[in-house]
Amino acid sequence: MSDDVRIKKLRGSGGFVMAQVTDEQQGKGNLGGPDLFLAPIGRLDAEKIKKYSCNTCDQEYEGAPKIEYENPNEQVSENLFLVERGQYLCTACSSIIAEYREFKKSDELGG
């Protein structure tokens, strides 16, 4: 199987990032249309992000946006836990580029 890395445009509600993604990440980001989305992929390593665009600033920036996240390990249903939630934020105006949530079933937790 190929795990090639390509630079792709990943959309968020407040802009997009251009990042190196694997085939697996690209599959997660494809929601059935022509665009790829950042939210289903989750947190990317900042060094994989080459540039980003902020809709609020109406501008592109080199490098990665600010990535803030927390690990609440919060139970959201009988067998489902929110293990991470985060945001990609514009470094110039702090607007949200994209948000994501990562969930795991209780039998997938490492404890």
Query: Is residue 36 classed as helix, strand or coil in its secondary structure?
Result: strand
What is the average pLDDT value for the chain, to the nearest integer? 93
pLDDT at site 6: 87
pLDDT at site 5: 78
| pLDDT tens track, the chain, 111 positions | 445 778 999 999 999 999 999 999 999 999 888 899 999 999 999 999 999 999 999 999 999 999 999 999 999 999 999 999 999 999 999 999 999 999 999 888 765
pTM: 0.88
Segments forming the whole domain that contains residue 48:
5-108
Q: Cα separations (Å) of 92 from 16, 18, 37, 55, 57?
A: 15, 17, 22, 12, 8
The CA distance from 82 to 10, in Å, is 23
Q: Give the residue among 78, 14, 19, 81 at the shortest CA–CA distance from 44.
A: 19
For the chain, how many structural domains are there in total? 1
